[in-house]
């Protein structure tokens, strides 16, 4: 065998080994391996509000906690810009608050219940391992109890309305932050959280609501 051909084979073999080692290492380093391998993930937030009532509500004013980070809420401003779904024609919206506590102000003359929300694309990989630290999560975050896979905390909701005595009103808010990418197969990881508040009369004040946040769900191996 020609010596130059042997040299080429050795070099090619060495390059294949180096590439294999690189893929093995980068493919198991999350999240840095995503950038190292030049993968462009699809990342997004979804946010949905559901208000149910056993009777018609009148003169409704709600301040609903928004996913936010560093004083900005892509979800909130997306709703204001008309990118949401299910927004009733008779509902006026605005953003209330500042800093780490932003709320969607929703006012309606009357409603028997509503469900609306929004899906928002994100340009960079979401932190689904410690979302409270680095991602858009529902804030304010109070009385935080951190766990391995679930965090619990309190947040605020304001509700004011007129209704018949004994009317039961439930406010549910859910959010999901998700990353998806595909190389050899599709990979997904995500966090999701849920807020719920049940009322038997209009509080006309800020109420504490329980939040449950499930984190670090899905795939954290980049390739394999």
H or E element in which residue 51 lies: strand 42-65
For 7, the token pair is: 């040299």
| CA-closest candidate to residue 91, choices 117, 126, 129 | 117
Span 175-187, average pLDDT: 92
Task: Say if CB 105 and CB 93 are below 8 A apart.
Answer: yes
What is the per-residue pLDDT for 224? 72
> CA-to-CA distance for 38 and 222, rounded, in angstroms?
11
List pLDDT tens digits, range 143-172: 999 999 999 999 999 999 999 998 999 999
- pTM of the model as a whole: 0.87
> CA-to-CA distance for 54 and 56, rounded, in angstroms?
7
Span 184-190, average pLDDT: 92
């Amino acid at each position: 065998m020609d010596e130059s051909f042997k040299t080429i084979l050795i070099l090619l073999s060495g390059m294949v080994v180096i590439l294999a080692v690189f893929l093995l290492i980068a493919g198991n380093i999350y999240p840095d391996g995503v950038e190292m391998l030049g993968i462009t993930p699809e990342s997004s937030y979804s946010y949905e509000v559901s208000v149910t009532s056993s009777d018609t509500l009148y003169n409704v004013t709600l301040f609903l906690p928004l996913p936010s980070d560093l004083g900005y809420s892509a979800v909130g401003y997306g709703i204001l810009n008309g990118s949401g779904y299910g927004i009733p024609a008779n509902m006026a919206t605005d953003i209330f608050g500042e800093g780490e506590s932003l709320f969607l102000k929703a006012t309606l003359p009357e409603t028997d219940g509503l469900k609306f929300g929004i899906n928002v694309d994100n340009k960079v990989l979401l932190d689904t391992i410690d979302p409270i630290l680095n991602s858009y999560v529902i804030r304010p975050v109070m009385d935080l109890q951190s766990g391995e896979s679930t965090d619990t905390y309190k947040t605020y909701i304001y509700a004011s309305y007129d209704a018949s005595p004994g009317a039961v009103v439930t406010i549910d808010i859910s959010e999901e932050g998700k990353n998806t990418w595909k190389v050899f197969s599709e990979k997904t990881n995500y966090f999701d959280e849920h807020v719920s508040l049940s009322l038997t009369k209009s509080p006309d004040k800020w109420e504490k609501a329980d939040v449950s946040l499930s984190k670090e769900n899905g795939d954290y191996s980049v390739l394999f």
